């Protein structure tokens, strides 16, 4: 018996190989789990539940076929996932952060971007994007208008990434400690940074497990009663 966690697949029409790897993964790995968790950025961009592209419909159909309890969290790319998507796929939308009890062990789940507090400009943008009033205004626009806005936002994001030091875009250790202490956990699982690894957090005698993004490799964490493993596989 185990729980499976993934994040940062950034599914997009430009990467059919990643999409096919995902379909295989949910059929052969996720569907045998006790619970399946997607911790943000399943999509490269999600413009709203009314975006009925062929890719989105294929993904929804694949997710709907799952027979295990399943949960999803907003990322910085797909924060407009809403009730309709969840109704269509059978997923439960989790707040960020969420504390869960698995094998009688408290685990903190996050997308991870809120931990990157040294990236001040990004945090400012994040606060705007997560504001319900902003989201409602965005969703009131036509799908075509949202596409134009999303394209501009992606270009700005790429430029910000190019100009910002790598370590600034990583998590802030003090923020990690604060979240783990506040939620009284010794295990934090998150994504976002695209730096798959496990880190010891001595201040809480705990661990921080970081999921990787799906590119030439796919990444997932499997949590069992005995512990957890960060695993990868090739995407050809």
What is the DSSP code string of the chain?
A: --EEEE----B-TT-HHHHHHHHHHHHHTGGGSSEEEE-S-SBS----TT---HHHHHHHHHHHT--S-EEEE--SS-TT--HHHHHHHTPEEEPSSEEEEETTEEEEE--SGGG-TT-HHHHHHHHHHT-HHHHHHHHTS-HHHHHHHHHHHHHHHHHHHHHS-GGGGSPPHHHHHHHHHHTT-SEEEE-SS---EEEEEGGGTEEEEEPPPPSSEEEEEEEETTEEEEEEEE--
**Mean model confidence pLDDT for the chain:** 95
Q: Report phi then psi at 134, rounded to 5.
A: -65, -45
More confident residue, 224 or 163: 224
**Per-domain residue ranges for the chain?**
3-234
What count of residues does the chain have? 236
pLDDT above 80 for 163: no
What mean pLDDT comes out for the span 142-150? 92
Question: What is the reported pLDDT for 29?
Answer: 97
Question: What is the reported pLDDT for 164?
Answer: 64
pTM of this structure: 0.96
Question: What is the reported pLDDT for 157?
Answer: 76
The answer to whether residues 8 and 232 touch, using CB atoms and an 8 Å cutoff, is no
Evaluate whether the domain defined by 3-234 bears CATH number 3.60.21.10.
yes
- Using a pLDDT cut of 90, give the percent of the chain over it: 91
Question: What is the reported pLDDT for 152?
Answer: 82
pLDDT digits (tens, 9 = 90+) for 73-105: 999 999 999 999 999 999 999 999 999 999 999
pLDDT above 90 for 168: no
pLDDT digits (tens, 9 = 90+) for 56-70: 999 999 999 999 999
- Using a pLDDT cut of 70, give the percent of the chain over it: 97
Q: How many CB atoms lie within 10 A of CB 67?
A: 9
pLDDT above 90 for 208: yes
């Amino acid at each position: 018996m185990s729980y499976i966690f993934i994040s940062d697949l950034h599914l997009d029409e430009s990467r059919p190989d990643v999409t096919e790897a995902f379909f295989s993964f949910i059929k052969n790995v996720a569907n045998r789990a006790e619970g399946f968790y997607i911790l943000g950025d399943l999509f490269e961009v999600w413009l709203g539940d009314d975006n009925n592209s062929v890719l989105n419909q294929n993904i929804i159909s694949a997710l709907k076929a799952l027979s295990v309890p399943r949960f999803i969290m907003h990322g910085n790319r797909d924060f407009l996932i809403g009730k309709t998507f969840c109704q269509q796929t059978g997923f439960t939308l989790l707040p960020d952060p969420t504390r869960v009890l698995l094998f009688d062990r408290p685990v903190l789940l996050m997308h991870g971007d809120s931990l990157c507090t040294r990236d001040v400009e990004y945090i400012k943008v994040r606060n705007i994007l997560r504001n319900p009033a902003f989201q409602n205004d965005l969703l009131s626009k036509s799908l075509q208008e949202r596409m134009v806005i999303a394209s501009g936002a992606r270009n700005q994001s790429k430029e910000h990434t190019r100009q910002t030091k790598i370590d600034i875009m990583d998590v802030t250790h003090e923020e990690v400690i604060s979240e783990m202490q506040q939620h009284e956990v010794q295990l934090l699982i998150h994504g976002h940074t695209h730096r798959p690894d496990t880190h010891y957090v001595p201040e809480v005698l705990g661990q921080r497990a970081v999921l990787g993004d799906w590119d030439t490799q796919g990444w997932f964490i499997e949590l069992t009663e005995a512990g957890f493993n960060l695993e990868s596989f090739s995407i050809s």
